[in-house]
Chain A
């Protein structure tokens, strides 16, 4: 089945700096790659997603890039703010009909004021 590796497991940045989180996946048939943000004690929430026919997608301060050949994708957050502090999860679709999402282990991002 699909295997998703996520790095780093923790990331500390200064407010205003950029943050990058990277994920690799194993199943070349995966075609959907979402990112979720989970604040402490809350539910995971979708923040951005990308399909395999697109190389990059942006939404204000966040962007995701995808390299299908290398089977890796990344989340970029620019001009980080304290409210960006959370755990971020990448995921890749899997299963014959793409009915399952396999998640990475998560990255705890801390933005220091």
Chain B
């Protein structure tokens, strides 16, 4: 998939359990993003990274943490999953500078029961 893969594609988990989603790119792009998609809300930015160990919060960062120890990997962690975090999660990379030309991964459908 053109240089970006997300894993897992689907996950069902229970409230209170930790969950980690992985985004892997082969494009060596500097910027990586995590979005969540919910009906009526479009895509909302959770966290983004502008380099190894360089991350910042987006508009809906509460309850989420991220890590980027290598250029190619950007991890999203839900420390203690809640039902409100049931969503589709998209990772994206930028082929331009910053937010330009975002290319999205295939998404992860997460269900928290």
Interface residues of chain A, those whose CB is within 8 Å of chain B, are 1, 4, 6, 9, 32, 34, 36, 43-46, 49, 89, 91, 93, 97-106
Q: Which residues of A contact B102 (CB under 8 A)?
A: 34, 36, 46, 101
Interface string of B24-48 (1 = CB under 8 A from A): 0000000101010000111111001
Q: Which residues of A contact B45 (CB under 8 A)?
A: 100-102
Q: Which residues of A contact B58 (CB under 8 A)?
A: 100
Please report the number of residue pairs spanning A and B whose Cβ atoms sit closer than 8 angstroms.
60
Of the A-B pairs whose beta carbons lie under 8 Å apart in the complex, a sample of 30, sorted by A's number, is A9-B40, A32-B99, A32-B100, A34-B99, A34-B100, A43-B90, A43-B104, A43-B107, A44-B104, A46-B101, A46-B102, A49-B100, A49-B101, A93-B98, A93-B99, A97-B98, A98-B98, A98-B99, A99-B56, A99-B99, A100-B99, A101-B33, A101-B45, A101-B99, A102-B45, A103-B35, A103-B43, A104-B42, A105-B42, A106-B40
Q: Which residues of A contact B43 (CB under 8 A)?
A: 44, 89, 91, 103
